[in-house]
Amino acid sequence: MTHKADVLIIGGGAIGLSAAYYLQQSGRAVTVIDSREVAAGSSAGNAGHIVPSHIVPLAAPGIIGTALGWLLDTQNSPFGMRVSLDPAYLAWLMRFAAACNQANVDGAIPAFKALGLLSAANFARLIAAEGFDCAYSETGLLFLYKTQTAWGSGKHEAELLHQHGLPAEVLDSAAVHEREPAARPDVIGGVHFTGDASLDPGRFLRQLAERIQERGGVLHAHMPVTGFEVAGGRVMRVLTASGDFAPEQVVLAAGAWSPRVVRDLGLSLPVQPARGYSLTARAPRVMPRQALLLGERRVAVTPLGDRLRITGRLELSGLDTTPSARHLAGIERAVRAYIVLDEPLSVEATWAGLRPTTPDGVPLIGVSPRHANLIVATGHAMLGLSLGPGTGQVVAELANGRSPSIDLRRFSLDWSVR
């Protein structure tokens, strides 16, 4: 059976649902399909940070040496990678190494700033307009440091943000402990990115999916794509085991699974999955006042109303979402070194999810060079939630033939113009 569809969105996470929301706002009818659950994938278990302050891509000078050092610390490292001879994986690693230069950073910063600010503003407007109850907080993101070296790097990042017109406050030890009483005494300083925000990503996405359905959107879970039919440079049919779709427009927002979904379309998407972990616990007796990031350990801490979420680690791991008890324990140990936590924590849930990562660290957002009615929106790495509403808006603008609100050249699928 073939279903007619105006806009078919492949992927029901932060990017796909955001695209569905803004397409509906523009008057389009949307259908969302996901190979797993809608609003429950990699975006739902993450840190919930909304971070327009994150303007530097993963591929940056010095990161390779830092990552090699982390690999030697098997107990506490925030980074890991699999050993594989897969040609696509090896090619990605080579392209990543080549992109770790200042030119890549300089080119990416304006793009990340524009999309990050658009997305942060859209979060505030969307949540207010829809009345969502999702522990949304605009108290910023506070980095905590225990060494002078790491704090120096934080100060440098604050200065970089100032150069680009973004807010950041450098705090000494006394100011940190006044702002965050949960911090341990040996935290020597911090940087507060006051333009950032946080929320409960699972609650936000579930409410967003409900609102899309209430307005006529059709959401299908457990419906993996099995193939495509293409004619005249357009996707004519999208095939699934539960029926086919004949869409006017297709949006690919399948995260780390995007390359696998379109492998038969002759479309090369250099995206590798990077696994992260989280645990969610009942609120401790001393609840952090705002979202935190532990500078040396790269672990995120987020108050979620009556719960606390701890998120960390980046692993180039393949399409495996199995949580590791060892790494979760390491993430919890890292947090205990920075802030006061109950002993033991009342853990309610653990999670592992995949971040779709490009070799230059910049998302892929644009029309397929081979298919006039296919828009690709993937490769957001750890920023899928944070950049969701901004990406959703520009996807809707592209689908409607309008000029996008921001310059998308740095996000192009054509690597010769990135």
Give the pLDDT confidence of 166-214 residue by residue, as tens digits: 999 999 999 999 999 999 999 999 999 999 999 999 999 999 999 999 9
Q: What is the pTM of this model?
A: 0.96
**E strand intervals along 51-132:** 79-81
Among 70-74, 131-135, 254-258, 334-338, which stretch is predicted with the lowest mean pLDDT? 70-74
Rounded distance, CA 244 to CA 226, Å? 10
CA proximity to 253, closest of 19, 57, 4: 19
Alpha-carbon Rg for the chain, nearest whole angstrom, is 21
Q: Provide the pLDDT for residue 73.
A: 67
Which domains are seen in the chain, by residue range? 61-86+136-198+274-356 (3.30.9.10)
User: Is the peptide bond preceding residue 78 cis, with omega within 30 degrees of 0?
Assistant: no
Chain-wide mean pLDDT for the chain?
95
Among 37-51, 120-134, 188-202, 385-399, which stretch is predicted with the lowest mean pLDDT? 37-51
- The answer to whether residue 383 scores a pLDDT higher than 90 is yes
Among 77-81, 118-122, 259-263, 294-298, which stretch is predicted with the lowest mean pLDDT? 77-81
Count of beta carbons in the 10 Å neighbourhood of residue 183 = 23
Q: Provide the pLDDT for residue 71.
A: 66
- The answer to whether residue 354 scores a pLDDT higher than 70 is yes
> What burial letters (b/e) apply to 298-332, b meaning 16+ CB within 10 Å?
bbbbbbbeebbbbbbbbbbbeeebebbeebbebbb
Rounded distance, CA 362 to CA 418, Å? 9
Q: Provide the pLDDT for residue 78.
A: 81
Q: Provide the pLDDT for residue 417.
A: 83
Q: Provide the pLDDT for residue 418.
A: 85
DSSP 232-269: TTEEEEEEETTEEEEEEEEEE--GGGHHHHTGGGT---
Q: pLDDT confidence of 83, banded at 50, 70, 90? A: confident
Among 76-85, 101-110, 249-258, 384-393, which stretch is predicted with the lowest mean pLDDT? 76-85
Higher pLDDT, 320 or 280: 280
- The answer to whether residue 310 scores a pLDDT higher than 90 is yes
Q: Provide the pLDDT for residue 69.
A: 73
Q: Per residue in 261-308, pLDDT tens?
A: 999 998 999 999 999 999 999 999 999 999 999 999 999 999 999 999
- The answer to whether residue 77 scores a pLDDT higher than 80 is no
Average pLDDT over residues 236-262: 97
- The answer to whether residue 136 scores a pLDDT higher than 80 is yes
- The answer to whether residue 72 scores a pLDDT higher than 80 is no
Q: Per residue in 215-246, pLDDT tens?
A: 999 999 999 999 999 999 999 999 998 999 99
Count of beta carbons in the 10 Å neighbourhood of residue 384 = 30
Count of beta carbons in the 10 Å neighbourhood of residue 62 = 9
- The answer to whether residue 80 scores a pLDDT higher than 90 is no
- The answer to whether residue 65 scores a pLDDT higher than 90 is no
Count of beta carbons in the 10 Å neighbourhood of residue 179 = 17
Rounded distance, CA 111 to CA 90, Å? 27
